[in-house]
């Protein structure tokens, strides 16, 4: 009997290990100027390409490597009249969707029905990825979701190649080391903090900051909105990065903070820290 109980506990432990998120897999920004922003970050700021900017039918996007996460630019209709905005935070799971959903249900974390997306992989229609939106962490102006890629080794080969280029180029002319944090505007920090802390695999740094095994941290800011306020990129030297931005006419200062001029980024707020 003891052996049966012990074996059962090991099975549950194994399931728990795979029913976790490990990192932010990608962050996306929507903009009417997405192709131009993709080009700016690639050609001027030296971020390697994970995948080229291209049409996927219902939308167009391209991904660049920020040192520890894919930064995706998604095209928005020019007719929208809206400035650029950060929107999607994709969490990478350790296991697959069925395991994650079981754990979410056990912890009573509200989620949408998983949405399967397909693609043509090696001449056959295959599952591409499954998106499970986390309802209580999402809002009108942001979406937080678990993104389960089917062919993970294939997908990771692209980011691994980009990472090699990133390291060889020493983070580009800005000397970027990675994405430090994604700052989210929330109406109730304590309530949102409780929700983030309940997700398997999320680590609590302080009352309103959370991290993962890798990638950027999540910082909650009670600012009255419900979008993603800004991203913070870590560089080797803030002063040297500022000097390069000034040469490119892309420097913006807010007190002692250094930003890539939002006017050059369709309104996106990108802060540099060392």
pTM, whole model, 2 decimals? 0.89
Q: What is the pLDDT of residues 130-175, one digit of tens each?
A: 999 999 999 988 999 999 988 888 888 999 999 999 999 999 999 9
Residue corresponding to tokens 């920020």: 66
Q: What is the pLDDT of residue 1?
A: 52
**CA proximity to 195, closest of 176, 218, 227:** 218
User: Which of 6-20, 40-54, 137-151, 225-239 is the least confident region?
Assistant: 6-20
CB-CB contact of 24 with 18 (8 Å): no
d(CA 5, CA 32) in angstroms, rounded, equals 57
Q: What is the pLDDT of residue 15?
A: 46
% residues pLDDT > 70 (the chain): 90
What domains can be seen in the chain, in order of their start residue?
21-273 (3.10.180.10)
Say which residues have a Cβ less than 8 Å from residue 235's Cβ, sequence separation at least 6.
171, 174, 175, 176, 177, 241, 272, 273, 274
């Amino acid at each position: 009997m003891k052996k049966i109980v012990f074996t059962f506990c090991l099975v549950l432990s194994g399931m728990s290990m795979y029913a976790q998120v490990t990192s932010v897999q990608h962050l996306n920004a929507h903009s009417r100027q997405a192709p131009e922003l993709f080009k700016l970050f690639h050609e001027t700021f030296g971020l390697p390409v994970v995948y080229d900017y291209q049409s996927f039918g219902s939308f167009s996007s391209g991904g660049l490597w920020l040192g520890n996460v894919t930064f995706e630019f998604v095209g928005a209709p020019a007719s929208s009249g809206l400035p650029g905005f950060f929107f999607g935070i994709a969490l990478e799971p350790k296991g697959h969707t069925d395991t994650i959903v079981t754990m979410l249900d056990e912890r009573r974390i509200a989620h949408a029905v998983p949405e399967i997306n397909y693609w043509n992989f090696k001449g056959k229609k295959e599952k591409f990825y499954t998106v499970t939106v986390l309802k209580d962490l999402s809002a009108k102006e942001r979406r937080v979701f678990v993104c389960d890629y089917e062919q993970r080794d294939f997908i990771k080969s692209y980011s691994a190649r980009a990472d090699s280029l990133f390291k060889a180029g020493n983070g580009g002319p800005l000397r970027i080391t990675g994405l430090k944090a994604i700052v989210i505007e929330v109406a109730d920090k304590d309530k949102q903090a409780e929700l983030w802390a309940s997700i398997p695999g999320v680590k609590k740094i302080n009352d309103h900051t959370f991290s993962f095994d890798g990638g950027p941290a999540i910082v909650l800011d009670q600012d009255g909105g419900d979008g993603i306020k800004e991203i913070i990129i870590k560089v080797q030297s803030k002063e040297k990065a500022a000097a390069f931005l000034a040469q490119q006419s892309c420097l913006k200062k807010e007190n002692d903070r250094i930003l890539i001029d939002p006017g050059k980024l369709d309104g996106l707020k990108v802060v540099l820290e060392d």
